[in-house]
Structure 1
Amino acid sequence: MPPTDPPRMLEVKSMEESAYKIKLFNPLAEYKRYEGEIASSVAKTLQSGRYILGEQVALFEEELARYLGVEHVVAVASGTDALTLSLAACGVGPGDEVVTSPFTFIATASAILRLGAVPVFADISLDDFNLDPASVEGCLGERTRAILPVHLFGCPAPMREILEVAERHDLVVVEDAAQALGAEIMGQRVGNLGTAAAFSFYPTKVLGGYGDGGAVSTNHAEVAKVARMLRNHGAAERNLYLTLGYNSRLDELQAAALRVKLKHVEEMIEERRAIAAAYDRVIAGGPVEATRQPQGARHVYSLYTVMCEKRDSLKDFLGAAGVECGVYYPRPLYRNALFEKAPFRKGDCSRAETACGEVLSLPLYPALTESEVAYVREKLLDWIKALERGREPIAESRQAGGPR
């Protein structure tokens, strides 16, 4: 029998993998920088014979709590679980309303829905893509239990104003810090401002693991106690179950790797900030607008996201030049089919609608080389100059360019 052609799906995948010279994310390149340390830490953990809720998880929780400046950290299986457990441990349940952003990843809303609560979508600011406190206050109702601000793309939300709204109305604040580990506002790191906070260790995050992972942070002992029970099937102790819980435990191998990367997270954040500053200098004052972070805040740039009225033109131009870009997010959460049946409420979210039509995220990660950053800057400038001359930028072939 003659040999058959390879399956078409494999061909397509191969083309996609080779299409971009500069990727939007590159977790493998980041891993290679710390490969020896990570391999050694994971190997020792494998040799220990303890893989669930052992020494590595306990040490990681202690070290992350110290880094964040909080009393308690509870490591869990994912950022989504961290959101769900944070809300549940703060008393959010069936029939409660939680005010949050429509301009974020679906996990923010799905965590609310899984508890039988109702997401209420307030509008954002186009300066930093975070919740507008005035819109939040306008969305409050008799059943509002909590506010869930998202520190989007690594930029801290306006927490002082949000906390003031919460205090006026006796509400809980749970921070969605999935994208913002290390970000700072009000002189503190995010995760240390609300009643609880949720972090994600998805591979492309600021502190990325090699699989899923997440954590709950809090300064409240009772919240931490409940979160610990919930992550382990609702167990108060072995074979004693007080509530319906989850199977949501960060495993020892992930904790071993994350402990290594936590030691380097500050240097990785500073690299992210330096790349963002290099991009900022190219686009300043032009048709592409960068995030304007709050005064005194520290942005950690889990994503470098800009606004551009001609977003699709810019995306196509950069893509053809071999620069992968992403759209986070193409529609507000309430425009997903999920919400044709799922309950929700919303205020005027016109700025979120605008953002969805104009945002574009550029490559930014610690392992991005100087030549790669220079190439992205060059192509950005080419597009801007063509636009300023009144000409439609013409995309080059992917095969023609690229950093040397």
Structure 2
Amino acid sequence: MLAASATAFDRVSAPAVDMAARIPVASPNMPRAADLAPYLERIDAAGWYSNFGPLVLEFEDRLAARFDRGATVVTVANGTLALTLALEALDLPRGSLCALPSWTFVATAHAVRMAGLVPWFVDVQTDEGELTPAGLLAALPEAPGPVTAAMPVAVMGRPMSPAAWRAFQDATGVKVIIDAAAGFDAAASAEVPVMVSLHATKTLGVGEGGFIASEDPVFLSRLRAMTNFAFMGDRVSRHVATNAKLSEYAAAVGLAALDQWPTTRNRYAAAARHLRIALSDTTGVTFQDGWGTGWISSTCVVRLPPGTTDPVEASLTASGVDTRRWWGSGCHVAPAFTDCPASALPVTEALAACSLGLPFFSDLGGDQIQKIASALRSALAGLKS
């Protein structure tokens, strides 16, 4: 369970429901102590704990093997730092614009600002809420300044096309990094750099961590240096950088999680399939295209009829079913980013008003699924009466 997810306000204002009977919106799936033991013994034997040790390098190789065309992987201490350092590794003019969707988690926009660029929020173009190369190309003439980078987002882990974004990059000169934070399952190619989060809430997590996959060795070499004080095989700090290395202990968790991945994926897919079946006769509830059938993630975000999200959320909460608006109302309304330029965002605003995260995790039980489905049907039916 996400023990730290509730605020003091949530605890005071939430209806009095037996907490033991509540269904949390998420429950991380992490390797257990016994799964880690063989890797911890290797750490003890080697006496190597950080600084690109043998477990980190093995973990990176196994991650890279999941990608096409010989991509290489660089691990980073967390996903937000991975995005930040990847942008910095491109050595773009500070103060220039980075185009990104407002329909994303705030970490995407934080990374842009931390890298010295200015977020330019562009509306998404598809029913799935994705910023597309064609949509951004059409928006570029209206940019309020020089656009040097773009950071499209894999919506809740949905598959994207790095090849299409590489074509966009080649045509425009705008550098592209894909934020596929929740996309471990779907990410399979890296014609442009792709970031995947390894946070505990993701389908494959190490606690805190992330990685960048890319086919560009020069970029990856600079990114690696950015995680280690800009050292490049010596003790010379060549430019401003930081310390963002993954430890051997985090790599041990990652290797154990990879050992279990086929079983873990099957459990997520089975839970998704059962939840889809349970809600198949519920009018007005729409799942992401392919979620749980062609690809999996650790969240379930559904689309509800316009104007129903607030009362449905309140009804589910009263029934002991937790929910989450994972991306809120979009980054553009967060105080940290209200001074950033934005195009008109009608699709973003519509998605924010009708999207709701339901409880979903790998060991979601049959009784829990039936409770979620029943509570959601009752909430929607109550709005019609």
The Cα offsets for residues 194-235 of structure 1, whole Å up to 9 and x where unpaired, read as: 42121211110121123x111111111111100110000111
C-alpha change, 1:237 and 1:158, in structure 2 (3 Å) is closer
> Match for residue 124 of structure 1?
124
Q: Distance in 1 between matches of 2:243 and 2:297?
A: 31
Q: Distance in 2 between matches of 1:125 and 1:23?
A: 32
Of 278-287 and 146-155, more deviation after overlay is shown by 278-287
Q: How far 1:81 sits from its partner (Å)?
A: 0.9
Q: Distance in 1 between matches of 2:54 and 2:314?
A: 48
> Match for residue 359 of structure 1?
355
1:130-149 aligned within 5 A: 130-140=130-140, 141=143, 143-149=146-152
> Match for residue 226 of structure 2?
230
Q: Distance in 2 between matches of 1:125 and 1:55?
A: 43
TM superposition score normalised by structure 1: 0.82
User: Do the aligned partners of 1:149 and 1:157 also contact (CA within 8 Å) in 2?
Assistant: no
TM superposition score normalised by structure 2: 0.86
C-alpha change, 1:127 and 1:269, in structure 2 (3 Å) is farther
1:344-383 aligned within 5 A: 344-383=340-379
Q: How far 1:160 sits from its partner (Å)?
A: 5.2
Q: Distance in 1 between matches of 2:301 and 2:350?
A: 14
1:43-54 aligned within 5 A: 43-46=41-44, 48-52=46-50, 53-54=52-53
1:158-173 aligned within 5 A: 159=162, 161-173=164-176
The Cα offsets for residues 307-347 of structure 1, whole Å up to 9 and x where unpaired, read as: 22311222222222222110122222121111244xx3222
Q: How far 1:287 sits from its partner (Å)?
A: 1.7
Q: Secondary structure at the match of 1:240?
A: coil
1:237-386 aligned within 5 A: 237-281=233-277, 282-283=279-280, 286-293=283-290, 298-308=294-304, 309=306, 310-341=308-339, 344-386=340-382
C-alpha change, 1:60 and 1:278, in structure 2 (3 Å) is same
C-alpha change, 1:131 and 1:340, in structure 2 (3 Å) is closer
Q: Distance in 2 between matches of 1:177 and 1:24?
A: 21
User: Do the aligned partners of 1:330 and 1:357 also contact (CA within 8 Å) in 2?
Assistant: no
Q: Distance in 1 between matches of 2:166 and 2:328?
A: 29
Of 115-124 and 371-380, more deviation after overlay is shown by 371-380
Pair 1:100 & 2:100 matched: yes
Q: How far 1:133 sits from its partner (Å)?
A: 3.6
Q: How far 1:67 sits from its partner (Å)?
A: 1.9
Q: How far 1:25 sits from its partner (Å)?
A: 1.3
User: Do the aligned partners of 2:163 and 2:192 also contact (CA within 8 Å) in 1?
Assistant: no
Q: Distance in 1 between matches of 2:229 and 2:342?
A: 34
Pair 1:24 & 2:9 matched: no
Structural RMSD (CA): 2.8
Q: Distance in 2 between matches of 1:144 and 1:298?
A: 34
User: Do the aligned partners of 1:95 and 1:116 also contact (CA within 8 Å) in 2?
Assistant: yes
1:53-64 aligned within 5 A: 53-64=52-63
Q: Distance in 2 between matches of 1:139 and 1:346?
A: 11
The Cα offsets for residues 152-205 of structure 1, whole Å up to 9 and x where unpaired, read as: 211123555544433321322211111111215xxxx1xx23421212111101
C-alpha change, 1:17 and 1:63, in structure 2 (3 Å) is farther
List gaps (5 residues or longer) in structure 1. Answer: 1-8, 392-404
User: Do the aligned partners of 1:147 and 1:172 also contact (CA within 8 Å) in 2?
Assistant: yes
Q: Secondary structure at the match of 1:99?
A: strand
Q: How far 1:385 sits from its partner (Å)?
A: 4.2
User: Do the aligned partners of 2:43 and 2:49 also contact (CA within 8 Å) in 1?
Assistant: yes
Q: Distance in 2 between matches of 1:348 and 1:215?
A: 32
Q: Secondary structure at the match of 1:68?
A: coil
Q: How far 1:284 sits from its partner (Å)?
A: 5.7
C-alpha change, 1:239 and 1:158, in structure 2 (3 Å) is closer
User: Do the aligned partners of 1:198 and 1:216 also contact (CA within 8 Å) in 2?
Assistant: yes
> Match for residue 86 of structure 1?
86
User: Do the aligned partners of 2:300 and 2:357 also contact (CA within 8 Å) in 1?
Assistant: yes
Q: Distance in 2 between matches of 1:78 and 1:133?
A: 27
- Identity percentage of aligned residues: 23
List gaps (5 residues or longer) in structure 2. Answer: 1-7
